[in-house]
Structure 1
Amino acid sequence: MIITLKIEGAYGSFDPASKDWYRLIEIPTNSNLEVLHLCIQKAIDFDNDHMYEFFIANNTRSREKTRFDNENAGLWDVPVGQLFPLGKHKKLFYLFDYGDSWYFRISRTRRKIKAEQPGTSYPHVVEAVGKNPVQYPAYF
């Protein structure tokens, strides 16, 4: 089965002027978070050269978080479809690069879960709004 997720820029190095930026991704519900990470990296054209994690919390600064990272094997053991629905007031976040702190909010869209379409390669981006953020902007 295929779920559609919306990836939005949240905080950190993200340009506040790109608040209308998002990507819609179709991904199999049984895909793990490592697969979602790689899909997001491709969708935003970032170099996959930093550590990352996913977490569920009220916001990016919440003390209470459920983390999915290298230390707890959550990146490989948790299927994307198992995360939804999230708890009340909870959101799923993707943090890439602990130095630059690229935060992305991931939400399930209202699109119904559907069967895989023959001949379609998953995961893939189905809608892209706004220009990709620049991972390494020139600061001079």
Structure 2
Amino acid sequence: MPEPSRIARLRISLDDTAPVIWRTVEVPLSASLKLLHEVIQAAMPFQDYHLFQFREGAVRYAIPDPHWPDGNTRSAKTTKLGALIDRGTTAFAYTYDFGDNWQHTITVEEVGPADPEVAYPRFLDGERRAPPEDVGGTMGFEEFLEAVTKPRHRERKRMLDWYGGPFDPGVIDQETIEAAMAKLARRRAIGQAAFAKSRSQGA
């Protein structure tokens, strides 16, 4: 079966959170790791302000810095998700924001044929709201939750003002997640159509 017609169901778990913050998504095997990064950003959602990397064993996948060559870093733009999965990878790591250091475990739950009626990538399920950007990592997030979930906490108003509104840790922002995922799916469809057109014109 050709690679573009296969999809992977992935579970994205944010490490060191209890209860665990997690999402399940479906992503084509033909997607680059850069696109998978964008899928994770949409699924949490984060704001994509910071650097990221994937890690599989000793190999790091990121956006290489031409000024700082690193023999262990491969390009996330040119590495396909299918390249990892087809060599037997069942789990790998993703880190976003090297300051707050949000470490995630990506688990491959299933690989199968794509549904031709479905636009990929797509969001399937998840639990709990992701941390706000720049909250200060796991410890900062714990302090933030302590403040915003206790009505009499002395830092509650300041934290909510900083965040910009109410924060319910038990409720994910599904509407925002699905809108961001649909945007990625549309962009991918436009790219595929343009590629198919260029191939037919060159034939």
Provide the TM-score with structure 1 as the length reference: 0.78
Question: What one-letter code is carried by the residue in structure 2 that aligns with 1:67?
Answer: R
> What is the distance in 2 between the residues matched to 1:73 and 1:67?
6
Which structure ranks higher in relative contact order (CA pairs < 8 Å, sequence separation ≥ 6)? 1
Corresponding residue for residue 61 of structure 2? 68
Corresponding residue for residue 102 of structure 2? 102
Question: What one-letter code is carried by the residue in structure 2 that aligns with 1:116?
Answer: A
Q: Flag the structure with higher strand content.
A: 1
User: Once superposed, what is the RMSD of the aligned Cα atoms?
Assistant: 2.0
Secondary structure (helix, strand or coil) at the match of 1:42 reads: helix
Matched, 1:82 2:101: no
What do the CA deviations read for 1:100-123 (whole angstroms, capped 9, x no partner)?
1000000100x3x22222332111
> What is the distance in 2 between the residues matched to 1:123 and 1:49?
21
Corresponding residue for residue 38 of structure 1? 38
Secondary structure (helix, strand or coil) at the match of 1:3 reads: strand
Aligned to 1:8, which of 13, 34, 58? Answer: 13
Question: How far apart are 1:132 and its partner, in Å?
Answer: 2.3
**Structure 1: which 4+ aligned runs deviate by more than 4 Å?**
none
Task: Give ranges in structure 2 of 5+ residues lacking alignment.
Answer: 1-5, 65-72, 136-143, 148-154, 156-203
Question: How far apart are 1:50 and its partner, in Å?
Answer: 0.4
Secondary structure (helix, strand or coil) at the match of 2:113 reads: coil
Q: Is the 8 A contact 2:50 2:96 kept in 1?
A: yes
Question: How far apart are 1:73 and its partner, in Å?
Answer: 4.4
Secondary structure (helix, strand or coil) at the match of 1:36 reads: helix
* % identical equivalent positions: 24
Task: Give ranges in structure 1 of 5+ residues lacking alignment.
Answer: 58-64
Secondary structure (helix, strand or coil) at the match of 2:123 reads: strand
Question: How far apart are 1:5 and its partner, in Å?
Answer: 0.8
Q: Flag the structure with higher helix content.
A: 2
Corresponding residue for residue 123 of structure 1? 121
> What is the distance in 1 between the residues matched to 2:122 and 2:53?
20
Question: How far apart are 1:10 and its partner, in Å?
Answer: 1.2
- Alignment length (residue pairs): 123
> What is the distance in 1 between the residues matched to 2:126 and 2:79?
26
Query: Which structure has the greater CA radius of gyration?
Result: 2
Secondary structure (helix, strand or coil) at the match of 1:126 reads: strand
Corresponding residue for residue 18 of structure 2? 17
